[in-house]
Structures are given as structure tokens and as C-alpha cells.
Amino acid sequence: MTTAITEIPGFVAGTWDIDPTHSEVGFSVRHMGGISKVKGRFTAFTGTVTTTDDLATSGVEVAVELDSIHTGNPDRDGHLKTADFFEVEKYPTMTYKATGVTRDGDDYVLNGELTLKDVTKAVPVTFEFNGFAADAYGGTRIGIEGKAHINRKDFGVNFAGVQNNVVLVGDKVEISLDIEAVLRQG
């Protein structure tokens, strides 16, 4: 039996503003031929979540400031901002727009498009609702966790660094989202 979004305890339809102080947009990619992963996150992003009684019309819009990348290594962060990777002076923002939600077993899937370096491709995001809750300030919040996978080269991120015959950066990137958003009042 599938659960409709309206059957989630505390369901509220509306437009929700992502709270960046309680949310994270992260990624991981294989390093050194796959022996480990480099993980990072973006610290500046905005967005909205729209919940409706009809899953097909629920959605998400997010804009991520690529200059806000943080991997814990300032030299690497600086390199990721160059033309080898994100080219942030020319392409400062990565966006995602989902215009519908479907079910996949116990999970939900955002059907949307990711735009990075002026390349737009369909990227499904598998996610789960963590629930709806009242906050201490009279507002209502929603929690969502999700994952997506992309091939960085599909978006023009073509760095091909090799050291000692070992590829430094893998092609497959996992994007992870941990989102808390606040219901707009009025």
C-alpha cells in the first residue's frame, strides 16, 4: 500500500522557505582512483518547497551559490571554483527545479532538472519526508532528506587530473540534501 503525501502525520499544504541554518546541500565524489571520497557542502543556498494534495503538482526550487563550496581544504575549494570545475565567475549558481513528485516504493522521487554551467539535464532526486512539526515560534516546519547521482562530465565539469597513472576525481557525484523548511505565513 502506498502512502499519499496527505497521509503523512501533520501534513500541511503550502509554500515553504528552506531554512539554510538547519539545512545542508552536500556532495561526495570518489578520489584517487576510488580509494576514498572527497565530501563537501555548499553554505549559501535558497529555495522553496511546495506541498499540495496532489503529488504531481508538489515541487521544489533551489539555487546554490557555487562560490560557497566548502570541503575543509581552502586550496581544494579554490581549485573547485576555477574553470577546471565550476568556473564560478562565469557560472555562479547551480539550480534545481522539480515540477512533480512520484512514488517509488516507500520513497518519493522529485522529477526535475538540474542546471550547472548552463547545462540543464533531468535529475531525479529520491527523498523521504521526515515529517511536519510546529516550531517554538508559532511556525510550521517540514523535514526532507534526499539523494541524487550525476555524472559531472554531463554538466561540463571535465577536469581530468591524473597523478601516477591514477585518476584523481571520479565522474559519479552523489548529491545529498538534508532540508528543513518553514511554512510561509499568509
The grid cell for 73 is: 581544504
Q: Give the pLDDT confidence of 91-111 residue by residue, as tens digits.
A: 999 999 998 888 888 788 999
The answer, yes or no, to whether residue 62 has pLDDT greater than 90, is: yes
For the domain that residue 154 is a member of, what is the CATH number? 2.40.128.110
The answer, yes or no, to whether residue 129 has pLDDT greater than 70, is: yes
Question: What is the total count of domains within the chain?
Answer: 1
Q: Give the total residue count for the chain.
A: 186
Residue 1 pLDDT class (50, 70, 90 cuts): very low
> Are 121 and 114 within 8 A, CB to CB?
yes
pLDDT at 44: 98
Q: Which residue, among 146, 84, 92, has the nearest Cα to 115 in the 3D structure? A: 92
pLDDT at 122: 97
> Are 140 and 134 within 8 A, CB to CB?
yes
- What's the whole-number average pLDDT of the chain? 89
Buried b (16+ CB within 10 A) or exposed e, 80-89: bbeeebbbbe
List the domain range (segments joined by +) for residue 126: 5-183
Q: Give the pLDDT confidence of 13-23 residue by residue, as tens digits.
A: 899 999 999 99
Q: What is the DSSP letter of 53?
A: S
Mean pLDDT value of segment 159-172: 68
The answer, yes or no, to whether residue 167 has pLDDT greater than 60, is: no
Q: Which residue, among 107, 102, 109, 1, has the nearest Cα to 56 in the 3D structure? A: 102
Mean pLDDT value of segment 146-150: 97
Q: Which residue has the cell 559519479?
A: 172
Helices marked H in the chain — which ranges?
A: 74-80
